[in-house]
Structures are given as structure tokens and as C-alpha cells.
């Protein structure tokens, strides 16, 4: 079956602009999480959505937001972009819950460069 | 708080050498432990996992054993190949909670030379 799909793969934005990234989870998966990866901070959890509800949030400013649609597809938005937002943004999906048989699958990521 | 500590890289090995990448964790409760691998320009792939103490995860010749007494989950492979060159991340999560959040270590770059 198809994996986690993220679009766009690469994008360049200017400081002060906003950006929207999209993620299509594996079919049947209802949990979608977002992570930011930078050389300095490593992999950091942004937020998780499950059945259209945000159920966990990392320590990021309010400029970072997300949502999940009824088909489990998710988007994240970053407003008023700063140079430090340049990063690889990774989306991850998993099935219904948080039981031990669950596996979390990652997409290939969206590379955001802010200039 | 919950955290994961990995050995600093890069780790440079010759082909067929033995690999160990150290990972220790701090956690309140009993986490599940994972190793993910990231090849250049790609996302993360789950390499192996262990969900309780003394479990051994294994995949593609890689192994790691969940050691509760030493809070460790070291990754090992008996004979590395050039194709194993990648960044390896140790991570933890809490099954049975209300989230699928993963907490990652800083990653260890492995470079295997022919």
C-alpha cells in the first residue's frame, strides 16, 4: 500500500510569509504527527492529530498550527516565517491507537528554506 | 522528563566491521524503544523496536535489546556494509497513553568505507 505522502517536497519562502505543508497518511491510519528536523535541534515533535482532534502538542510557538480533515489528511501551517524555521518537516502516520503493536511510519519530508 | 541520549558521531567503520551505537534513556514509566534509520535525502524508516524489558528487536542483521536495569537500547550489527551508511536515531514512546509522540535522540551518523 502507498506510504505517507508529503507535499511539496521542496520549497523556498521569504521571511514574513506563511507556508502550508500537506500530508496524506497511509490508508486507514487516523493518527498523524508532525516533526521538525534541524541540524541544531534534531527531531522535535510539533503536534499530533487523531480523528480530526489535536491530542498532543510540542513546545512550539503559536505560529505553528495544524489541522486534520475527515479523510485523515493533515496540513500544517507556519505563519510569519523566520529564518530559523528552515528545516525538514516530517509527517508520520499510525493506525488507531497507541497499543504496543502500533508502528509509526514517516514520509520523506518537506524541505523548507526561509530566505 | 523523558529523554534519549545517543553516542556522538560520526562513526566510521570499514566494511564487515562490528557496529555498536549506544543509546540510553530516561523515562517515567515503561517506554517502548525504537531505532529509526534515515538515508541521505529521505525520511525516517523504522529499523526495529522493543516494547518491554528484555525484548530483543531485530531486522536486516541489526539487533537491540531493551535493558531496563541499565536503561539502554544499544544497536548492534555483526558485519556492516557500505549500504548501511546513514543516520541512526534512537527513540522512545509510551504505548497505552493518549499519544503516539516519539522522543528522539540526536542521531548518530554511520559512515561505512569499502
Residues sharing a CB contact under 8 Å with residue A40, sequence separation 6 or more, in sequence order: none
Residues of chain B with Cβ-Cβ distance to A58 below 8 Å are: 101
Q: Residue A100: what pLDDT?
A: 55
Nearest-angstrom CA–CA distance, B77 and A11: 37
Name residues 44-103 of chain A within 8 A of B (Cβ): 45, 48, 55-56, 58, 90, 92, 94, 98-100, 102-103
Low-confidence ranges of chain A (pLDDT < 70): 1, 96-101
What letter would DSSP give residue A27?
A: T
- Cell reading at A111: 524541505
- Would you call A108 and B43 a contact, using CB atoms and an 8 Å cutoff? yes
**What region does A82 belong to: left with phi over 0, alpha with psi -120 to 50, or beta?**
beta
- Cβ of residue A9 closer than 8 Å to a chain B Cβ: no
What distance in Å separates residue A92's CA from the closest CA in chain B? 9
Q: Residue A74: what pLDDT?
A: 98
Q: Residue B44: what pLDDT?
A: 93
Nearest-angstrom CA–CA distance, B45 and B89: 10
Q: Residue A86: what pLDDT?
A: 98
Q: Output the tens digit of pLDDT for each of chain B's 114 residues.
A: 889 999 888 999 999 999 999 999 999 888 889 999 999 888 999 999 998 899 999 999 999 999 999 999 999 999 999 999 999 999 998 765 567 789 999 999 999 999
Q: What is the mean pLDDT of chain B?
A: 93
Q: Residue A101: what pLDDT?
A: 58
Task: Evaluate whether A67 touches A97 at the Cβ level (below 8 Å).
Answer: no
What distance in Å separates residue A107's CA from the closest CA in chain B? 6
In angstroms, what is the C-alpha Rg of chain B?
14
Look at residue A84 and give its three-state secondary structure.
helix
Nearest-angstrom CA–CA distance, B95 and A100: 6
- Would you call B98 and A100 a contact, using CB atoms and an 8 Å cutoff? no
Q: Residue B41: what pLDDT?
A: 85
Amino acid at each position: 500500500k502507498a506510504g505517507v505522502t508529503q507535499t511539496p517536497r521542496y520549497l523556498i519562502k521569504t521571511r514574513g510569509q506563511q507556508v502550508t505543508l500537506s500530508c496524506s497518511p497511509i490508508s486507514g491510519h487516523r493518527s498523524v504527527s508532525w516533526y521538525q528536523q534541524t541540524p541544531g535541534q534534531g527531531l522535535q515533535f510539533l503536534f499530533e492529530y487523531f480523528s480530526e482532534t489535536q491530542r498532543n502538542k510540542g513546545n512550539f510557538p503559536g505560529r505553528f498550527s495544524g489541522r486534520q480533515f475527515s479523510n485523515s489528511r493533515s496540513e500544517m501551517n507556519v505563519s510569519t516565517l523566520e529564518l530559523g524555521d528552515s528545516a525538514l518537516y516530517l509527517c508520520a502516520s499510525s493506525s488507531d491507537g497507541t497499543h504496543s503493536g502500533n508502528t509509526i511510519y514517516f514520509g520523506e519530508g518537506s524541505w523548507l528554506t526561509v530566505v | 522528563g523523558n529523554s534519549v541520549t545517543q553516542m556522538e558521531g560520526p562513526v566510521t567503520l570499514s566494511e564487515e566491521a562490528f557496529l555498536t551505537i549506544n543509546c540510553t534513556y530516561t523515562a517515567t514509566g515503561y517506554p517502548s524503544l525504537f531505532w529509526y534509520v534515515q538515508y541521505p535525502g529521505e525520511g525516517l524508516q523504522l529499523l526495529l523496536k522493543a516494547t518491554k524489558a528484555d525484548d530483543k528487536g531485530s531486522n536486516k542483521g541489526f539487533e537491540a535489546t531493551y535493558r531496563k536495569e541499565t536503561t539502554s537500547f544499544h544497536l548492534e550489527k555483526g558485519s556492516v556494509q557500505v549500504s548501511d551508511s546513514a543516520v541512526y536515531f534512537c527513540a522512545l514512546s509510551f504505548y497505552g497513553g493518549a499519544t503516539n509522540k516519539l522522543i528522539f535522540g540526536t542521531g548518530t551518523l554511520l559512515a561505512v568505507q569499502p
